Amino acid sequence: MIWKRVDNSMMNIGIDAGGTLIKVACKKNDSLEFNKLPVSQLEHAASWINGLDRADICVTGGKAALLKSLLKNKAAEIVEFTATSNGVRYLLEKNAISEKAYILTNVGTGTSIHYVENSREQRIGGTGVGGGTIMGLSRLLTGLTDYEAIVSLSAKGSRDRIDLKVSHIYEGAVPPIPGDLTASNFANVLSLDSIDQLTKEELLACVIGLVGETVATTSVLAAGQCGVSTIIFIGSSFIGNDLLKEVVQSYTKLRGASPIFLENGEYCGAIGACLQLSGH
């Protein structure tokens, strides 16, 4: 069970069924509650929904059609990009953040990049590098598949022996750009006599670095293309992942843009779906 019912009042439930996680936003008595579970438990989520006798449901995300096929009652559906943008606007207003035009970067299994201006949003690109990349490369390099273990170990690792920095290339000279920038992810291993001594912590830190730098750089380029400087980052890949947030934040600032990370940002799609039921 996702939530225990404490009474029989009406609930509005928005569900973002993505490639990795199912995110749920439940509105009852004008307050929102959040929950998440792995997409492998889609049938469990459907069973919980089917057990509710007073609930309106709206779904979004890549697995929305599959989830709807498991429900006994009709559920509304909203386009994922629209739901996410509406959820972002809700959280911005709730946190008293005034931004009218910005880049919205959603780092889930992959990364989707949008330009938002007032109530209009347009998907302008994305990259296949995202949370799925973290999980996939981490398994290939270390054998680990547990998200929390990957995040915990990566925070303890150094990237110095694996990533090639600008300062490595300009050894003994002053580089034309900051020396601590990554010149090439993973390329410094070519100078090592042996890679057998590389630790899981080092490897995982470099995986996070690769994803974070790619996400930040792509987002900053999109911001420049659209003539804005603010980039709002959301998505399940940031859950408990302080290292990823640090990499994205530092690279975004270094390249001249202003990053914003929204609390509960991973639930924006679910929030937007839930608000759809209220006519917002």
Q: Which of 80, 121, 202, 266 is catalytic?
A: 80
C-beta atoms surrounding 38 within 10 Å = 12
3-class SS string, the chain: CCCCCCCCCCEEEEEEECCCEEEEEEEECCEEEEEEEEHHHHHHHHHHHHCCCCEEEEEECCCHHHHHHCCCCCCEECCHHHHHHHHHHHHHHHCCCCCCEEEEEEECCCEEEEEEECCEEEEEEEECCCHHHHHHHHHHHHCCCCHHHHHHHHCCCCCCCCCEEHHHHCCCCCCCCCCCCEEECCHHHHHCCCCCCCCHHHHHHHHHHHHHHHHHHHHHHHHHHHCCCEEEEECHHHCCCHHHHHHHHHHHHHCCCEEEECCCHHHHHHHHHHHHHHCC
Contact 241, 131 (CB under 8 A): no
The partner residues of 12 in beta bridges, in order of sequence, read 27, 56
Q: Tokens representing 91? A: 């959280």
- Judge whether 80 counts as a catalytic residue: yes
> Which residues are catalytically annotated?
80
